[in-house]
Amino acid sequence: MGTKVRVAVALAVAAVVGACGDARGQDQQDEWTYAPQARYLQANLPVLEKAYVYCLESPIEGVVECAVREVARIKLAHLTWESDALKKRLEDIALNGMTPPIRYKASLVRAIFDAPALFAAESSADFRTPTQLYLAVARRLESGMLAGK
């Protein structure tokens, strides 16, 4: 792995861990402040793809969980972007992830990759908490299934 890629991966891991709140943990109802969704439009997708594939392979549950969420936000900002490596990794986590919540979240994010057009309304939304993000995705999937889309 080249020096530039190592630095990018290290920065992505630091960003993922930093974005997840402090080490004491935070209640899901707390209002966290994340970057606005518009900021994700400026993402360097090839670099982030490599970094998040690496993060999703981490043995640390918190790194994986945060990476899943960040991948969701990036994909929502770039609905036409495809990443076979991330899709494959998300599918593996959805089936074999460390905990049921991580498996569920990975399956929700995988759905964004599988049917991106379904999530057009969420593509510009600013989610302040992970709960808001995952509820929006789950609700969209549910309404899509009920509408027969």
Residues 49-103 pLDDT 10s: 999 999 999 999 999 999 999 999 999 999 999 999 999 999 999 999 999 999 9
What's the rounded Cα separation, in Å, for the pair 22 and 142?
32
What's the rounded Cα separation, in Å, for the pair 75 and 111?
11
Count: domains in the chain: 1
Domain carrying residue 123:
3-146
* Entry field: residues in the chain: 149
Q: Do residues 71 and 60 make contact, with C-beta atoms less than 8 angstroms apart?
A: no
The whole-model pTM stands at 0.77
